[in-house]
Amino acid sequence: MKTWASKYDEEVSLFNYNGPELMAREFAKLNVPKDVKVIDIAAGTGALGKELKALGYTCIDALDGSEGMLEAARKKNIYRNLFQFLLGCDKKSPITYGTYDIAVSCGGIGIGHIPYSAFHDILTMVKQGGLVCWATINPKEEQEKETYNSVITELKDSGKWEAVQDPVRVEEFYKNELALFYVMKKL
C-alpha cells in the first residue's frame, strides 16, 4: 500500500482522473457555509481535500485506511486531523458520534475500497441534519449493484437518511467513466 501511496498522484494524473475536481464542483453547488466541519472519507493523498480547500472550505479532516496515503496527504497541509482507520472492519471507529456536519468521499466507496455496508458507520460520524456526499463509479456487476442499492434503500426505509437531490451525473469522472454524485441528509 505504501508503494501505491508514493506513486498515486503521478498515476492518477496519467489516467485522467477528474473525480476530485468534478465532485468539489458539485459539492460547491450545495452552498454550505465554508466553515462546516467536514470529514473526507478515503481521503487518500488528499485530492478532494485540496479542491475543497481551494474553494475556501476551512475545516476538513481526513480518514483513510492506509497510513502511507495519509502520510502523503499530511505533507500537503490540507487537513486539520488525519485518522488511520479501515472502515468495514470490526474495530471501533476513532470518530466520536456526530462530530461532523458533512462526510464526503470521492472514488473511495465500492469495489476494492470501502464496502457499502460502511455507510452505517459513516452516518454515525455526522450530526443529525448533516450530510453524507459521495461520488463513485456505479457498480457494473448485478450482485454489486444490488448490494449498493439495498444499503442506500435500507437506510432510507429505516428513516436514517433521505436524499437531498437526485444523484447528479458526473461525466468523465475517471477516464471515460460516469460517476454519480449523491447527497443524503442524516435524519
Which residues contact ligand SAM (rule: CB under 6 A)? 19-20, 42-44, 47-48, 64-66, 69, 86-88, 106-108, 113-114
CB of 104 to ligand SAM, least distance (A): 9
Residue with cell 464526503: 104
Measured from the CB atom, the residue of 4 and 187 that comes closer to ligand SAM is 4
Report d(CA 107, CA 22) in Å as an integer: 11
Smallest distance, ligand SAM to C-beta of residue 143, A = 19
Nearer residue to ligand SAM within complex by CB, 66 or 186? 66
Q: Find cell 458533512 and name the residue.
A: 102
Residue facing ligand SAM at closest CB distance: 44
Q: Which is nearer to ligand SAM, 85 or 159 (CB)?
A: 85
In 3D, which of 81, 80, 102, 83 has the Cα closest to residue 28? 102
> In this complex, which beta carbon is closest to ligand SAM, that of residue 65 or of residue 130?
65
Among 42, 48, 58, residue whose Cα is nearest residue 25: 48
**Assigned C-alpha cell, 81:** 486531523
Minimum CB distance to ligand SAM, residue 139 (Å): 15
Are β-strands 100-106 and 38-41 bridged in parallel, bridged antiparallel, or unpaired?
A: parallel
Q: Give whichever of 162 and 171 is closer to ligand SAM, judged by the CB atom.
A: 171
Measured between alpha carbons, how far apart are the two ends of the chain, in Å?
36
Q: What are the cell numbers at 43?
A: 481521503
Output the smallest distance, CB 62 to ligand SAM, in A.
9
The strand pair at 100-106 and 126-137 is best described as parallel
To ligand SAM, the closest distance from the beta carbon of 149 in angstroms equals 20
